Structures are given as C-alpha cells and as structure tokens.
Amino acid sequence: MTSTDLNTYVTFGYLAWWVVYLIAFITTAKDSSILKLAFRILVVIWVVHTVAIGLRWVESYQMGIGHAPLSNLYESLVFFGWTIGLALIVARLRFGTDIVVLLGLPLVFLTMGSTFLLDHTIKPLIPALQSNWLVAHVITCFLGYASFAVSFVAAVMLLVARGSDYLGEHLPRAQVLDEIVYRSVLIGFPLLTVGIITGAAWADYAWGAYWSWDPKETWSLITWLVYSAFLHARLARGWAGRRSALLSVLGFVAVLFTYFGVNYLPGLHSYF
Amino acid sequence: MSEIASFFTSVKTTITLLFLLASASIVGTLVPQDTGLDQLRQTASPFMYRIMIILDLPTVFRSWWFILLLILLSLNLLACLIRRLSVIPAEWKGDSEKASFSFVISDPRPGSELKGVFTSALKRLLGAPSTVIGSGDGPGLVWVKHRVHLLGFPLIHAGIIVILLGGLVGLFYGFRGNIQIQEGGIGKEVVLSPSGEVRPLPFQIAVDKFTLTRYATGQPKEFRSDVRLIRDGKEALKGAILVNDPLTFEGISLYQSDYRLLGIKEVSLIFVGQGGQQSDLKVRPRETTDIPGASYRVRLHSVDPGTTAKGQGAEIVVERPGEEQQIVGVFRNEPAKLGDSEIRFVDYTPLYATGLQVARDPGAIVVWVGCGFLILGFFLTLFTNHRRLAIDMQTRAGSTQIRVYGRSRRLRREFREAVEKRIRSSLDKKEK
C-alpha cells in the first residue's frame, strides 16, 4: 500500500467518522461514553494520517530523491489537514468541546479531499527548495494556520450563537467559545511569527534578501498584522465576544488568502 | 504635550496603525509593484495614472507614506516600551501591590500559627514565600514567581523596533543587485535593484563554468557556477555558488539566482575515417577545425536541439581544398556521409550566462537580533507566568482577619481558583 492510498483511506475515514460522530452528538447526552469512544477513534485516524505522511517520506528515500513531504501543493495540503486535525484534538482535550471538533473536521476532510484533484507523484526537489529551512518554515507556518483555523471555527459558532437563541442553547457557552477564540490565536500568533522569521532567514540565505515584499510574504505580514491587532484589542482594550470573534474571522480570511489566493499572483512561492 | 504623549502611548493608535499598514500592504499586492511607468501609463486611465503616481502606488513599500506609517509605529512602540519599562523594577522587586483578585476570611488561630499552615498549603503551588513581613500574630507573607515573565513584553516590542532599525541600516549601508556573466567571462559591476544604477564591485568575478544538472524526470536538480574572485589582479577565492549555498567574500555575498542560454559552446562529434578508425571531433562556432588524418576542415553552422525525428543534431560547414564548401546535417539518428567517411553526432554543450544576485546587508544581523528578542519574548510570555500572592494577617480579639490578594499575568481564573481552594481547605483540615 502506498502513502497515496493511505491518504485516501484517511480522508474517507475522517468523513465516515464525522457522520458517526454527528449522529452520536445529536442522539446521545453530552459526555456520553459513545462520544468519548468516537473521539478516541478520531485520534486513531489521525495517527494513521501521521503514518501516511511518514510513509511518503520513506517512499521518497526509496526512490533515491529523499526529502520531507512538504514540497508541493499536494504534500502541503495533506500536512495542513494533519495540523488542523492536531489542533482540533488539542482543543478537544483542553476545552472538552466535541462540537468544535465536529464543526472543524469538515476543514480537514475538504483539505484532504482536494488533494484527489492534484498530482500526487513524488517529485525530486527543485534547487530552490533544497534547504533545511524548508522543514522548519513549513511546519511552524502550518501549525500556526491550524491554530487560527480552530479560533475561526469557535468564532463562527460564537457569532452564530449570538444571532439565534435556538442555536445559542445548543452551542457551548459563549464564554468557553470566546476562550477558544482567544487561546488559539495566542498559540497561533507566535507560531506564525516564527514561521515568518524562518522564512526570512531562508530567503536571506538563499537570495541575500530577508524580505522582498513578494505577495506571499506581504500577505503573511497582513495576517500577522490582523492577529496582532486582535491581541492588542483584546489585551489592552478588553475586546471580547463578538468584536474579537469578527477579528478572528478576518484573520482567517487573510490566512486562506496567504495560502491559496496568493498563488494567483506571481512571486517567489510559485511552487506551492 | 500630554496629548501628544498620550497619542503615542495609546493602544488605539497601535491598532489603527496596524490596520493602516495591513491595508497599505493589500494595495501593494494588488497594484503591480516596480513595473515601469510606461507600462503603467498604457494600462491605466490618465486619471488613475495620475492618482497612482501621486500616491506612489507602483512602489508602495518605498513610498513616503508607508515609511511614515512605519516611523509612527516605531514611535508608538517606543513610547509604550518606555512607559512599561518604568513600572517593571517595582514589579520585579515584588513591591507592586496591584491585584487581580482579593478575598478576606477569618480563623480563630493566631497569625503566628497560620503562617506555617499557609506556607505548607501553598508550597506545591508557589514554593516558599519570598518575603515574610513582620512577626508574631500579624505577619504578612508574599510570594513572587517567574519574574522573568515581566521581560516578555519589553523583549517582543523592542524586537520589532530592532528589526525595523535593522531594515533602516540595510537601506543606508547595504546594497543589492544583479550581475550576469557569461561562462569564461569576468564580471566587474552590478546593476542595483531597484534603482538600476550600475555599481563597480571591489573585486572581479570570473565564471569558469555554469552547470545545469537535471533529474531523470527532466526537472532541474542543481544550478552551479564555478567562480574565481579576483582582487588586484590576483585570485583571492575560488569556489562554487549554488542555489541555497551562497559564497561570501569581504562581506559581499553572491547568490545563484538564474541563468541564460546564450548559444553553443561546442558540439561533440565522432569522425569515422575510411579505414573505420574513430576520432573525437569538437566543433565550435566561429572557429574552423581540421579533421585529423583527413583533409576536411569543419565549422559549426547551427544546432538543432531535437526538433525532428532525426533527434538532436548540428549543421556544419565542411571545406575541402579544391571543392566548394557545403553545409552538412549531422543528427543523432542520422550520421552524415562525407565520401567514404562518416560523421556522427554525440552531444552539444550549451553556452550559459549565470545570473548572480550580489548583496551586502550589514543590517541583516541587527534584524536577526530583533527576531531573537521576539522569539525569546514570546517564549517567556507563553511558557512562564508572573504571579504575586500576598497574605496579610491581623489578630484581634481571638480571631485573625486574613486578607489574600494576588495577581497572575496569565490564566488568572485558574490561579485564583487554585489559591482559594488550597487556602480554604488548609483551614478546614486543621479545624477538624
């Protein structure tokens, strides 16, 4: 079995598990043993996902062109799905909110599912990507993005709950959601910062310029500025609830544009 | 004066500046940057063109107003930093009595006894008290933990200022440019970006060879320029420049950035004589070669990179004394006949020019120091937590009034709950 097959199984695993979890969530009481079991199964699927990434790494070495599986859009999407999965699991363990996982998981299987449309063959690394900075840069950026994704999911719930009393009753307390919105940004922001710094260090080493205002760099800075505004508004001006949730949504829009939108503009990151 | 000061220390100003910078950056990615003015004049209407020129939109990130925003942000950061630094010493010493929670309880035991109860109850959470004030029945206990957390905020904000300063140093004392050197050629001056100004280098770059290696799939594997750096007519350094592997000499770094195909260096052929004896034959442009052991003279006319079923090949001009010169095609799948002899095609070597990026930036090290501050600051902020807890006790008429007040930078509710639980349960335990 190849890592590509494994990724396919993992994708459908997430989807199938999501349906089961949804049914369990609707029909059973909160904290039921079925929900707890369902969560454990999610962790197992995520572990298989981890194995698939490791397997792809091994396969590239068997082909004699060994490199970390972070070198093109297919591999980065698989890794993005993995980091979101990780962030959802951490959020569930920390806050005990199944619904965050339930609403966040579509992001994972949509990300994974979109890889079906892409070329999945393992290609050798082009000269520009042959650097150890690649691994540090990609891992920190995507972990940051995943934290922001969790914040976004909680922010959307918070905004929806405020708009409807019925939904408000069935969602976690606004205070808990607000906490998730904030704490996820608190984790994501330093990760994004380190991601930008490792990217700058790499650019300096490879091209002699740590900052070139290339569209992807600029958009990562825009993302950083939005979340920086989020933290200042929250910590110094006491923004919470709706206003801080809106900023979190705005920040995630910037994240998505940094990741996908920028590919339509020319620049240094054209291989992703 | 105080209005100006409060403008610069205000977080409202910070948030506004952050949003303005973000908006400006968005404009900078939507309007193509650094395209020539002629191109812009053709694509935009005269009115839009004038607006764009006035606002420096084709060079947002170097425009006066973008720089102004950065300066304002730096002043804002500096003002906040100074204000923050002024209160840190008192908090470091533990003198600041600012509290995020407080509660009062009472207990029949005297303060002298409760001192021990609280010390052991809070030992696992906070360790031993850092200060014990007074004695007897009215002692006060103070715990201060993770003071180093207080440095997180100044480090993060100073880090940003240092990074911006590093950028400024690079702007004034650094340069960046491109140079294109043909194989076998020598480069002496770089074209600076973005100004286009030509600047002589303190040394010369001699490119001996440029090599483009490919994977079996045809994708490029390695770009490599073998160079010699010449200073005052003498070779000072010999080395290779690869993508992601620059060469640095006297503070100036050379980076492999791109390459150009200029033509053909030489074509390798095999000449098979009448008796079947084979000899290698190299043909170069603008250079006539004698074929050893035969009376032919050949010269390269053109190269076919493989456009037909005959495969890669070359056209060569063949001369023989007393005969009219003729052009002969030699292909990989179709050797050429010359009377009783034959010429076979082997390969051609392209002539490249390597494109190097040349840069010197004394500000980069400053930027990395700033980044170090930033990372250390985030580490302290996230992984340490400054807490101060104080307990004042006053024994009056057989009862001790206990006032507990404290402050935690992070996880405030958790800290308050942990303290309250431990103190209350320690009192309950002893009473039973």
pLDDT digit string (tens) for A159-182?
Answer: 988 777 777 777 788 888 899 999
User: Counting Cβ atoms within 10 Å, is residue B319 exposed (0-12), middle (13-18) or buried (19+)?
Assistant: middle
CB atoms within 10 A of CB A209: 21
Q: How far is A200 from chain B (nearest CA, A)?
A: 10
CB atoms within 10 A of CB B320: 16
Average pLDDT, chain A: 89
Kindly state the tokens that stand for A53.
Answer: 């990434």
**Does residue A17 fall inside a structural domain?**
yes
Q: What is residue B430's predicted lDDT score, i.e. its pLDDT? A: 53
Q: pTM here? A: 0.87
What is d(CA B240, CA B247) in angstroms, rounded to the nearest whole number? 7
pLDDT over 60 (residue B239)? yes
| Model pLDDT for residues B309-345, shown as the tens digit of each residue | 888 999 998 888 888 888 899 999 999 888 888 899 9
The partner residues of B329 in beta bridges, in order of sequence, read: B315
- Band the pLDDT of A262: cuts 50, 70, 90: confident
Q: How many domains, in total, are found in chain A?
A: 1
- Band the pLDDT of B1: cuts 50, 70, 90: low
Contact between B273 and B341 under an 8 Å Cβ cutoff? The reply is yes
- State whether B28 and A218 contact (CB < 8 Å): yes
- Band the pLDDT of B169: cuts 50, 70, 90: very high
- Go through chain A and tell me how many residues it has: 272
Residue/partner pairs of B129-137 with CB below 8 Å, 24 or more apart: B130/B94, B131/B94, B136/B111, B136/B112, B137/B110, B137/B111, B137/B112, B137/B393, B137/B395, B137/B400
- State whether B12 and A237 contact (CB < 8 Å): yes
Residue of B nearest to A222 (CA): B22
Q: Is the dihedral of CA B411, B413, B416, B422 positive or negative?
A: negative
Q: Average pLDDT, stretch A29-39?
A: 81
3-class state of residue A48 by DSSP:
helix
More confident residue, B210 or A261: B210
- Band the pLDDT of B185: cuts 50, 70, 90: very high
CATH homologous superfamily for B94-146+385-431? Kinase associated domain 1, KA1 (3.30.310.80)
Contact between A101 and B197 under an 8 Å Cβ cutoff? The reply is no
Q: Average pLDDT, stretch B18-26?
A: 94
**Does residue A2 fall inside a structural domain?**
yes
| Model pLDDT for residues B194-203, shown as the tens digit of each residue | 888 999 999 9
- State whether A225 and B15 contact (CB < 8 Å): no
Q: Average pLDDT, stretch A41-65?
A: 92
Q: Average pLDDT, stretch A106-124?
A: 89
- Band the pLDDT of B207: cuts 50, 70, 90: very high
Q: What is residue A272's predicted lDDT score, i.e. its pLDDT? A: 44
| Model pLDDT for residues A124-164, shown as the tens digit of each residue | 888 888 888 999 999 999 999 999 999 999 999 999 887 77
Kindly state the tokens that stand for B102.
Answer: 């407080």
- State whether B382 and A190 contact (CB < 8 Å): yes
Instruction: Give the closest residue to A143 by CA, choosing from A60, A64, A70.
Output: A70
Q: What is the DSSP string of A100-127?
A: HHHHHHHHHHHHHHHGGGS-----PPPG
Domain encompassing residue A30: 1-125
Q: What is the largest CA-CA distance in chain A?
A: 59
- State whether A197 and B374 contact (CB < 8 Å): yes
Q: What is residue A266's predicted lDDT score, i.e. its pLDDT? A: 53
Interface of chain A toward chain B, CB-CB under 8 angstroms: 65, 123-124, 126-128, 130-131, 186-187, 189-190, 193-194, 197, 200-201, 204-211, 213, 215, 218-219, 221-222, 225-226, 228-229, 232-233, 236-237, 262, 265
Q: Are strands B336-338 and B326-331 parallel, antiparallel or unpaired?
A: unpaired
What is d(CA B268, CA B284) in angstroms, rounded to the nearest whole number? 9
SS3 for A221-242 is: HHHHHHHHHHHHHHHHHCCCCH
- Residue in B29, B223, B378 closest to A193 by CB: B378
What is d(CA A251, CA A153) in angstroms, rounded to the nearest whole number? 12
What is d(CA B29, CA B43) in angstroms, rounded to the nearest whole number? 17
| Model pLDDT for residues A8-23, shown as the tens digit of each residue | 999 999 999 999 888 8
Q: How far is B122 from chain A (nearest CA, A)?
A: 25
The residues spanned by each domain of chain B are 2-89, 94-146+385-431, 172-262+354-373, 265-350
Q: What is residue A270's predicted lDDT score, i.e. its pLDDT? A: 47
What is d(CA B419, CA B414) in angstroms, rounded to the nearest whole number? 9
Helix (H) or strand (E) holding B267: strand B252-272
* A206 interaction partners in chain B (CB closer than 8 Å): 243-244, 246, 255
- Go through chain B and tell me how many residues it has: 432
Kindly state the tokens that stand for B56.
Answer: 């420096």
Instruction: Give the closest residue to B334 by CA, choosing from B315, B317, B321, B354.
Output: B315
Residue with tokens 């001369």: B319
**Does residue A41 fall inside a structural domain?**
yes
Q: What ipTM was estimated for this complex?
A: 0.88
Helix (H) or strand (E) holding A78: helix A73-95
Interface of chain B toward chain A, CB-CB under 8 angstroms: 11-12, 14-15, 18-19, 21-22, 25-26, 28-29, 33, 61, 167, 176, 215, 217, 219-223, 242-244, 246, 253, 255-257, 357-359, 361, 364, 367-368, 371, 374-375, 378-379, 381-382
- Band the pLDDT of A265: cuts 50, 70, 90: low
**Does residue A178 fall inside a structural domain?**
no
More confident residue, A167 or A27: A27
- To test the contact with chain B by mutation, choose from A95, A137, A193 the residue with the greatest count of B C-beta atoms within 10 A, namely A193
- To test the contact with chain B by mutation, choose from A67, A121, A204 the residue with the greatest count of B C-beta atoms within 10 A, namely A204
Instruction: Give the closest residue to A149 by CA, choosing from A180, A104, A194, A189.
Output: A104
Residues near B251 by Cβ (< 8 Å), separated by ≥ 6? B360, B362
pLDDT over 70 (residue B402)? yes
